[in-house]
Amino acid sequence: MEQYLNPDTLGKMYIDGEWREAASGKTRDIIYPYDQRKIARVTEGDVEDARQAIAAARRAFDKGDWARTPASERGALVGKLADLIERDAEELAALESWDTAKTMEESRGDMQDIAGIFRYFAGLADKDAGEVIASPIPNTTSTIVREPVGVCGQISPWNYPLLQASWKMAPALATGNTIVMKPSEDTPLTTIKVTQLAEEAGFPAGVVNLVLGAGPTVGKELAESVDVDLISFTGGIETGRKIMQAATGNMKKIAFELGGKNPNVIFADTDLELAIDYVLNGIFFHAGQVCSAGARLIVEDSLHDKLVEGVIERTKKIRLGEAFDPKTEMGPLISEKHRAKVERYIQIGKDEGAKLVLGGDRPSDPALQKGFFVNPTIFVDCDTSMRIVQEEVFGPVLTVERFHTEEEAIRLANDTTYGLSGAVWSKDQNRAHRVASAMRMGTVWINDFNIYFAQAPWGGYKQSGIGRELGAAGLEEYTEIKHVYQNYATEPLNWFGASS
């Protein structure tokens, strides 16, 4: 997979149809989280570069050609980008694995999803025919049309770098917006590559812009600029609060996908082996660095001990390793800083009285010492007063709570400020549906975990987000609704100054 790396080539920004270096001349090294090897060097943009990208997107939008391009043509371009992503899927997957250290198998799955997302929104692009509504006034018609919002700032995180970017790019472009994309400074490689593919697909200059750099500079400028009409952000809640405040200057539209602390509720009638399997996948996939990770196992008392025992036994067998080794099941965390955060939470869990029954430390294998690894970790005897249960750890750390009644299961599941996703497991379909409908989350899985696809909306209740990505709702986020009213028989009003 080394053939896809070129550490001596500088990754650049794409502004107004040109590949550019940062005005400051600064650069940033990108490292492989498995062994801290330098894998790439990219230009490090700043506020000035963000301003140039925003200005380019503004000009391209205000010129009007792109927004007025027939929707079927815009859809065809988005579809062409899907084809190019499929053509280069193996290279994109390798770059994603170098950047994040997630396994190649995971990255290959992500690339398939990403091509599917571009294809889905390409197909939706020309399906909106507007709507004629019943006007209450004689001799008039009222039509509802959807139009692009304008210039969209798009800020993505490091855990699913291209997947989260694609959820923003595809609907924004399909609906005629212009974009300034800012990937996480830690993981820009696949977003650079996909921008190259957008250029190859033939998007007009200024429609797709890419800026690279840090959140507090480049990202903040996107959030603050009065020339940006919408800011779409995926990331942590504290960053979300800052962006929300920064966005007030011109009251821009905001679309937020934030964190989660997702309950996995298991009733005693669930098949034990199936439950064990999905509990592991729910929390340890991508080392728990998943917004919808099943970090909170909430299990019925009579199944608790057997389930915990089975989960511990299988967790012990998880193979930690390198992204390109097909035997690897779990990779490292993204950075030293993030590992320190996860380890702080493990200490908090211990201090709060949660009982550590597995992990909590780093692997001893000499081959893994340069990677930011934390062993899969399990706490039992947890309750909702604990920070380890309430706050997003974003690592391979599972907490276990027990319940005795359906009401208690619902109360525990909902006892969180988050509301991204959750699952309920039971062979009793009526009960499963009752519980699912009582769970205050944007996605609830029944007898499954962590399923998402282009056709279904994704987003959070409560502090997990604002708005939706994917599905028809994900397209609508990028549109303004306009009411066009026409009078066919306009008569004088004579309201003012008409009397003699």
Ligand X SMILES: C[N+](C)(C)CC=O
Ligand Y SMILES: NC(=O)c1ccc[n+]([C@@H]2O[C@H](COP(=O)([O-])OP(=O)(O)OC[C@H]3O[C@@H](n4cnc5c(N)ncnc54)[C@H](O)[C@@H]3O)[C@@H](O)[C@H]2O)c1
- By CB under 6 A, tell whether 441 contacts ligand X: no
For residues 237 and 490, give the distance between their C-alpha atoms in angstroms, rounded to a whole number.
52
- By CB under 6 A, tell whether 121 contacts ligand X: no
- By CB under 6 A, tell whether 185 contacts ligand Y: yes
What residues between 384 and 403 interact with ligand Y by CB under 6 A? 392, 394
Active-site residue, selected from the candidate residues 185, 257, 401, 469: 257
- By CB under 6 A, tell whether 290 contacts ligand X: yes
| Total residues binding ligand Y (CB under 6 A) | 32
Whose Cβ is closer to ligand X: residue 52's or residue 464's? Answer: 464
From 75, 161, 259, 467, residue interacting with ligand Y (rule: CB under 6 A):
259
From 75, 263, 422, 465, residue interacting with ligand Y (rule: CB under 6 A):
465
Where does this chain touch ligand X (CB under 6 A) — which range of 49-57, 78-86, 215-223, 290-298? 290-298
* Residue 36: CB minimum distance to ligand Y, A: 19
Cα–Cα distances (Å) from 316 to 82, 368, 371, 414, in that order, read 40, 16, 19, 30
Q: Which does 99 bind (CB under 5 to 8 A by kind): ligand X, ligand Y, none?
A: none
For residues 90 and 108, give the distance between their C-alpha atoms in angstroms, rounded to a whole number.
7
* Residue 4: CB minimum distance to ligand Y, A: 23
- By CB under 6 A, tell whether 223 contacts ligand Y: yes
Q: Which does 452 bind (CB under 5 to 8 A by kind): ligand X, ligand Y, none?
A: ligand X
From 5, 228, 258, 357, residue interacting with ligand Y (rule: CB under 6 A):
258
- By CB under 6 A, tell whether 421 contacts ligand Y: no
* Residue 218: CB minimum distance to ligand Y, A: 7
Q: Is 257 a catalytic residue?
A: yes
- By CB under 6 A, tell whether 59 contacts ligand Y: no
- By CB under 6 A, tell whether 288 contacts ligand Y: no
Where does this chain touch ligand X (CB under 6 A) — which range of 29-37, 221-229, 284-292, 408-416? 284-292
- By CB under 6 A, tell whether 160 contacts ligand Y: yes
3-state secondary structure the chain: CHHHCCCCCEECEEECCEEECCCCCCEEEEEECCCCEEEEEEECECHHHHHHHHHHHHHHHHHCHHHHCCHHHHHHHHHHHHHHHHHCHHHHHHHHHHHHCCCHHHHHHHHHHHHHHHHHHHHHCCCCCCEEECCCCCCEEEEEEEEECCEEEEECCCCCHHHHHHHHHHHHHHCCCEEEEECCCCCCHHHHHHHHHHHHHCCCCCCEEECCECHHHHHHHHHHCCCCCEEEEECCHHHHHHHHHHHHHHCCEEEEECCCCCEEEECCCCCHHHHHHHHHHHHHHHHHCCCCCCCEEEEEHHHHHHHHHHHHHHHCCCCECCCCCCCCCECCCCCHHHHHHHHHHHHHHHHHCCEEEECCCCCCCHHHCCCCCCCCEEEECCCCCCHHHHCCCCCCEEEEEEECCHHHHHHHHHCCCCCCEEEEECCCHHHHHHHHHHCCCCEEEECCCCCCCCCCCECCCHHHEECCECHHHHHHCCEEEEEEEEECCCCCCCCCCCCC
- By CB under 6 A, tell whether 291 contacts ligand X: yes
- By CB under 6 A, tell whether 468 contacts ligand Y: no
- By CB under 6 A, tell whether 375 contacts ligand Y: no
- By CB under 6 A, tell whether 463 contacts ligand Y: no
* Residue 183: CB minimum distance to ligand Y, A: 6
Q: Which does 100 bind (CB under 5 to 8 A by kind): ligand Y, ligand X, none?
A: none
Whose Cβ is closer to ligand Y: residue 303's or residue 342's? Answer: 342
Sign of CA dihedral 78, 84, 89, 95: negative
What residues between 148 and 187 interact with ligand X by CB under 6 A? 159-160, 163
- By CB under 6 A, tell whether 479 contacts ligand Y: no
From 52, 97, 100, 164, residue interacting with ligand Y (rule: CB under 6 A):
164
* Residue 417: CB minimum distance to ligand Y, A: 13
From 239, 270, 315, 443, residue interacting with ligand Y (rule: CB under 6 A):
239
Contacts of 405 (CB under 8 A, 6+ apart): none
- Catalytic (active-site) positions: 257
Residues that bind ligand Y (CB under 6 A): 155-160, 164, 182, 184-185, 214-216, 219-220, 223, 234-236, 239, 242-243, 257-260, 291, 392, 394, 420, 460, 465
Residues that bind ligand X (CB under 6 A): 159-160, 163, 290-292, 452
